[in-house]
Amino acid sequence: MTSAIPSGSVVEYAFRCFCGTPIVTTEKTVICARCGQGLGIRRVKRQHWKIAPPQVPHRRLRLDDLGELATRIAICLGAAACVYVLGQYFYDFLNG
């Protein structure tokens, strides 16, 4: 396995101390000049996160669900009819 960094090149590391001081250096460890805290690069093992949520089995549609769905559809259609009738009323009122 070859290194991702060509030999002879200089790598700069950008740190930000907990006190807020930005630090740029070529070393992997550094001590903050403002607060004296030591900072460094450490390798961590990457975790592979699952993007998609786990699949949940669908439950079967029951007759009770159809009744509830029909009720909700009727309520939505009734509300839409009320809005339409009120719109016609105000249109006729303003233009007539």
Residue 67 domain-assigned (yes or no): yes
51 has pLDDT over 70 = no
Residue 6 domain-assigned (yes or no): no
CA distances from 13 to 16, 25, 50 (A): 10, 5, 30
pLDDT confidence bin for 5, thresholds 50/70/90: low
Looking at residue 20, its pLDDT comes to 87
pLDDT digits (tens, 9 = 90+) for 62-95: 777 788 888 899 999 999 999 999 999 888 888 8
Please check whether residues 66 and 96 belong to one and the same domain.
yes
Residue 87 domain-assigned (yes or no): yes
- Whole-prediction pTM value? 0.36
Q: In total, how many domains does the chain have?
A: 2
Residue 50 domain-assigned (yes or no): no
Range of the domain at 82: 62-96
